[in-house]
Structure 1
C-alpha cells in the first residue's frame, strides 16, 4: 500500500470515529449481514459455473457465500461461548438476517411471470446438513445471546430487477435460476444490467418505492413471527435505501439503523452517499451509528486480520467509540470451501482472546443493546 493510501486510510478511520456520541465504556459489537439468504448452493454448481468461464472465483461472495449449515453454527458457537467478557457474556454476533428466499418451484410453475417466496425455515429443510439450523439458532444462538438476529430485508433480492434478469436471454442467469443460484456479478460477454439485483431496497420510480414499502412491512412482520420478537435495528442489503421506508421501519418497531454510511437511490439508477454519525437521529427519532472495524477473512485470506482489527479497535476506543466490527456471513460459510469457515473461526478466536487480554473490561453486546445505550445519550 502506498504512503498516500496509508495516509488516506488513517484520515478516514479517524473521521468515522471522532464525531458524535462517545462513551468511556469499552464496547465491542460484531455486525454480520446476509444470514438466512441463499447465494451459491454447492461446490458442484460453483465448479460448473467456472467450467462455463464465469469468474465466480474472482468474487469472494460468489466463491464462498452459501447458506449456513448445522456444523457452521455449532463450530461458531464453540468459539463465541469460549470467549466471555467481564460480565460472563459470550462474544455475540448480530446476525442481520432475511426471512425469505425465492421459491424457485412456484416461480417456475408460473413460467417466471409471478414471484413467490418461501420462509427461511423451508429453505433450510431443502439443503443437506441444514435441518437443525433454525433449532440451533433459536435454542442456543438467541437464548445465550451469541447469534442475535436483526432485520436485513425480507429477501436479499430486488424482486423487480431479478425478475427482469431471469426472463432475459442470458444463458448464465438462466442456468443460475435453474440451479437456485443468486449470482449478483457481472457476466463476461454480456451487457451489464445497470442495477444490482441483490440490493433489495433500490428503486427506480415511485411505484417501485411503494412496492418496496409493502415488502418491508411484510418482512418485518414475518421476522417477528419467526423469531418471536421485533427487530429493533436494521441495515439495508448492500447499504442502499431511501428515506421513504423509515416510517415503515418505525411502525414495525425499528428504532436504530446500523448503517450511518448509506446510499440513497435517486430514482434514476444512481445513488448518493448520506453520512450520519454516532448518535445522529432522523425525523422519526431513529438512531444511527457506524461500523468502524473490518473483519473479512474471506475477502483476503492471507491478510493479517487480527493485527488490523486490533489497531482499528484501539482507535475506536481512543475516540470513546464502541468497536463495531463488520463481518459478513460469507466468512462463516463452509458449503463451498470448508477452509473458508475454518480459517475465519481460527482468526476470530485469536482476535477475541487478544481483545480480552488487552481490554479485560470489554463488554460484548448485540446491536439492539448498543442502540439502547446510544439512544439514552
Structure 2
C-alpha cells in the first residue's frame, strides 16, 4: 500500500499527456568500471572491497551485451510499429590507463570512447571486437539514442588527490585498468564516481569546464548534440545548471525529492516533477518507474505497477535503470537475468497497453517543449 501511494504521489504534478508514452533511461553506458573478471579477482586478492553490485558486475558493454539487448528491444513493437528504445545516458571519455601507467600514475589522462573500444578489441577480442561498430548500428536503427551523462564517471578532485597521495586502492584499480572498489571516506560530500560533487562552491567553475568539454566530445563520439543531461549520481550544483543552456542542454533529470549540496556540507531539499522549469529556460524530468532486475526479484511487477500509476494520472512512464543490469562480461548470468527481466517487462507493457508509444528521452523532451 505504501508503494502504491508513493507511485501516485510522484505523478500528481507536472506535464500531462493522454498518450501512453514509455521512455527507458539507462545510466552508465560507455563507462569502464571493471576491466574483466580477472581484474576483479586480482583487486579482491589485493584487499579491495566491493561496496555495491556495480563493483562486482559492471563492465564496459561488450558485443554480446549489445546483441542480446538489441534482440530484447526488437522483440516488441508499439502502436506505431516502432521497437522499444533505450536512452543510454552515456559518457564521452574514459581513463587512459596506458598513458597513466607510462607516467607512473602521476597525472590524470583520458581518451574518447571509440579509442577505449579500439584498445579493448585488441586486449579482449572475444568480448570487444566489433562492439563500437555495433554501438553505431544500434544508433542508426533507433534502438539506442544516447544522451549526456558526463565526460567521465569519476570525481577528478578525489582522483587527483588520491594519486598524489599514492593511495593504494586507486593505484591497484588503475593497474588493473579499472576504476572500482575505491573508498571516499575522507570526502564527506563527494562520491568518488560522482563527477560533479564538490566541497567548496568555487570548485564549480572547473567542473563546468568538464561539462563543456564533455558535451563537445559527446557530439564527436555519438554524432549529434545532446539535449538531455543526467549527471552521474544525479548530483550537480545549480551554479553549473544555470550555465548549461549555452551548451544546448535544456533538460536535466532530477529526483522527486532532491537533496542539493550548497557547499561546505550545507544542503537544501527541493521537490521536483517532470516539466518543472528551472533557471535559464531549463526543464527538469523526474523518473517515475524503477527497473533494476538484477537487484530486485520483483522488478518487473513493481515497474508495471508504477507504469500503471503514471498512465492513470496522465503522465509519461520514465523508466530508470542502469547498465549493470545488462552487463555480462564479469558474469554472464547477471546479464541473462537482466535481459530476461527486460524482455518480460516489454512483453507485458505491449500486452497491457497496446496503444503504448516507445520514445527516446529526446523525443519526450521535444513533446514537453511544445507546450
Distance 2:181 2:235 in 1: 15
Q: Which residue does 1:3 correspond to in 2?
A: none
Cα shift at 1:206: 4.1
Cα shift at 1:209: 0.9
Q: Which residue does 1:201 correspond to in 2?
A: 196
Q: Deviations over 1:296-321 (max 9, x none)?
A: 12223xx1222111111111111111
8 Å contact from structure 1 (residues 241, 263) kept in 2: no
- Aligned residue pairs total 364
Cα shift at 1:184: 5.1
Question: What TM-score results when the alignment is normalised by the length of structure 2?
Answer: 0.92
Task: In structure 2, list runs of 5 or more residues that go unmatched.
Answer: none
Q: Secondary structure of 1:12's partner?
A: helix
8 Å contact from structure 2 (residues 228, 249) kept in 1: yes
1:19 matched to 2:20? The reply is no
Q: Larger deviation: 361-370 or 271-280?
A: 271-280
Q: Deviations over 1:174-231 (max 9, x none)?
A: 21121122125548xxx54433111101122244211111111111011112222110
Cα shift at 1:294: 0.9
Distance 2:342 2:269 in 1: 31
8 Å contact from structure 1 (residues 64, 298) kept in 2: no
Cα shift at 1:360: 0.1
Give RMSD over aligned pairs. Answer: 1.9
Q: Which residue does 1:296 correspond to in 2?
A: 292
Q: Which residue does 2:338 correspond to in 1?
A: 344
Q: Which residue does 1:105 correspond to in 2?
A: 98
Distance 1:255 1:281 in 2: 10
Q: Which residue does 2:144 correspond to in 1?
A: 147
8 Å contact from structure 1 (residues 184, 197) kept in 2: no
Q: Secondary structure of 1:152's partner?
A: strand
Distance 2:264 2:65 in 1: 40
Distance 2:33 2:92 in 1: 14
8 Å contact from structure 1 (residues 33, 96) kept in 2: yes
Q: Secondary structure of 1:157's partner?
A: coil
Q: Secondary structure of 1:306's partner?
A: helix
Q: Larger deviation: 67-76 or 279-288?
A: 279-288
Q: Larger deviation: 324-333 or 99-108?
A: 99-108
8 Å contact from structure 1 (residues 156, 200) kept in 2: yes
Query: Where does 1:241-280 land on structure 2 (aligned, <5 Å)?
Result: 241-261=236-256, 262-269=258-265, 271-280=267-276
Q: Which residue does 2:170 correspond to in 1?
A: 173
Cα shift at 1:338: 0.4
Q: Which residue does 1:76 correspond to in 2?
A: 69
Question: What TM-score results when the alignment is normalised by the length of structure 1?
Answer: 0.91
Task: In structure 1, list runs of 5 or more residues that go unmatched.
Answer: 1-5
Query: Where does 1:21-60 land on structure 2 (aligned, <5 Å)?
Result: 21-56=15-50, 59-60=52-53
Distance 1:193 1:351 in 2: 39
Relative distance call for 1:263 and 1:147 in structure 2 (3 A) is farther
8 Å contact from structure 2 (residues 199, 265) kept in 1: yes
